[in-house]
Amino acid sequence: MQSPFKQIPLRVLFVAGAVAFAAACASDNSTSPVASSEAAAALMTAPIGFDQLNTSFVGDSDPADGFTPWHQGDGDQFRFGPGWHDFMGGGLGEGFIGGIGFGPAFGRGPFGDWDDSDACAFSTTTNRVECSRTNRRGITVTRSFSFLDASGAVQQSFNRMTTNTVNVTTSTSGTRLHHDDMDTTTVDASSDFTVAGLASGSTQRTVAGKSAGTESTKGVKDAGAFTALRTAGDTITGLVIPIQDSRPTFPTAGTIIRSMQAVVTLAGQTPSTSSRREVITYDGSATAQVVITHDGVTKNCTKPLPHGRLTCQ
């Protein structure tokens, strides 16, 4: 069976979204809310290991993606934080904007594939599929699944026809050496994610979940020591995604609340801080309403679904 780490709607397309997000940031630095803050740049990407969670953030586990303060040789895309035309934390995952289709040409649609691996086994004690811990370059990942049919009966594995509800809990923790073996990052994060409406014949999927994590990095940059602390989390409530065969489908109800904070301290300097909150509301139209508060400044924004540009007033 496939590994649970290969859930394409949450992983591969999230990485694609991150590439587009980084390119947009590089071309829109003039609109960054806090261009002078060292910590603002820390809000561009999600903490290390968030790609292993089930979350609206677009994470990555590459050691090179751990945050370090900007210096002149890095280029402007590493200096400025997310602007008013971009989502923070690597962007907003494709499943949350309608970038994943449903049907023969697409697969099972957003959040539709939940095959467990040979490293997982059903526990009669917990009525969950418990997966062995795995170590990914210093980061330990632990997962547990619950599979239910439409009547609420427990299933011992995922069935593409009869499984209706999946809950997956994930945790990541550990310390990683990265950035030319000069920096260390310690992470601690978790997520709890539920999808219903997966059984054959369902007309919509409902999604709820939450994630939270911290990332602490210590190292040397430009011959100076630094520390960087990032926290990130989201809450997904009442998300409804209609099933429309052979084309992408976007959420028509529900909210996502995302937040990040960063504190960056360079040796001998005053700590730099930055925070951001994004509230995304789906109202049944083809436009999501987004309220962004960045370091005390709030703007009302709109996001045409699926791939329209985020614009703010």
Mean pLDDT to the nearest integer, 1-19: 34
Is the pLDDT at 206 greater than 80? The verdict is: yes
Instruction: Place 94 in a pLDDT band, splitting at 50, 70 and 90.
Output: very high
- With b for 16 or more beta-carbon neighbours within 10 A and e for fewer, the 229-239 pattern comes to bbbbbbbbeeb
DSSP 187: E
Q: Work out whether strand 297-304 and strand 287-294 pair parallel, antiparallel, or are unpaired.
A: antiparallel
pTM of the model: 0.84
Highest-scoring range by mean pLDDT, 168-182, 208-222, 279-293 = 279-293
Mean pLDDT to the nearest integer, 203-223: 91
pLDDT for residue 248? 72
Is the pLDDT at 150 greater than 80? The verdict is: yes
Portion of the chain with pLDDT greater than 90, in percent = 57
The count of other CB atoms within 10 Å of the CB of residue 286 is 12
Residue 39, helix vs strand vs coil: helix
Are 307 and 290 in contact by the 8 Å Cβ rule? The answer is: no
pLDDT for residue 112? 87
Instruction: Place 22 in a pLDDT band, splitting at 50, 70 and 90.
Output: very low
